Amino acid sequence: MIRCMIVEDEILAQDVIRQHVSATSQLELVSVCQNAREAARVLENDEIDLIFLDIQLPGMKGLHFLSSIPDPPLVILTTAYSEYALESYEFNVIDYLLKPISFERFSRAIDKLRNGRLFTRAGRDNEPPADHFFIKSGTKFYKVNFSEIIYIQSLKDYVKIHTRHHTLLTHQTLTDLEKSLPPEHFLRIHKSYIISLSSIKTIFGNTIEVEQASLPIGNNYRNQVMRLISKGRP
């Protein structure tokens, strides 16, 4: 679950974001704060993955508060004023939502938290390595364990993930998805295919057999496959 906090002084805006969070299964609302001081206390005492942060807060403004956090969580900014958009992206925020915030627009912002980046809390010290990510397929987010993946197939702007239990289609590129996979367990063998090393059955000629599928080895990836064989893996 994504542990999130709302930092917003307008009651109506708070209620709208609360409703959107409640309707999004992978979000867990930890706290609602009306100003930066309250939010700072929550960050000191709770583990927060994502902040919905209003720019126009009483006292310390949202962007000033954000700049004061040494190791900030992921942030989605909310505001009624579009003129702050350019400045906000200097902080590498996930998205910038203009009020009133529709659920459709809210959902598109959450879609950007894909590939397990948030769930694995990449870059934080003393965190165990990730063993899964979350993928949106249709209207649902699916938890996909790396150990269940057989291979992944590119279909232009979509990716099809073949697992031991089902097949999922998600709207993203194979290159983007590859960044979320542990390289010690997965190998790109073609511009259109990534395989799980544990699923390899045979390698012959320009083909790799994984479970029930026979996949081509691309010319640009053949050396990687040969190095795999020479090292005795998998």
Burial of 194 (0-12, 13-18, 19+ CB in 10 A): buried
CA–CA gap between residue 138 and residue 29 (Å, rounded): 24
3-state secondary structure of 168: strand
CA–CA gap between residue 167 and residue 137 (Å, rounded): 10
Domain ranges of the chain: 2-113, 132-230
2-113 — its CATH code?
3.40.50.2300
Domain 132-230 has CATH 2.40.50.140: no
* pLDDT of 75 strictly over 50: yes
pLDDT digits (tens, 9 = 90+) for 5-30: 999 999 999 999 999 999 998 899 99
- Domain 2-113 identical in fold to domain 132-230: no
CA–CA gap between residue 84 and residue 113 (Å, rounded): 22
Tokens representing residue 218 in the block: 């691309």
pLDDT digits (tens, 9 = 90+) for 93-111: 788 899 899 999 999 888 8
pTM of the model: 0.52
- At which residue do the structure tokens 């990534």 appear? 194
* pLDDT of 53 strictly over 70: yes
Residues 6+ apart with CB under 8 A from 174: 152, 153, 154, 159, 191, 192, 194
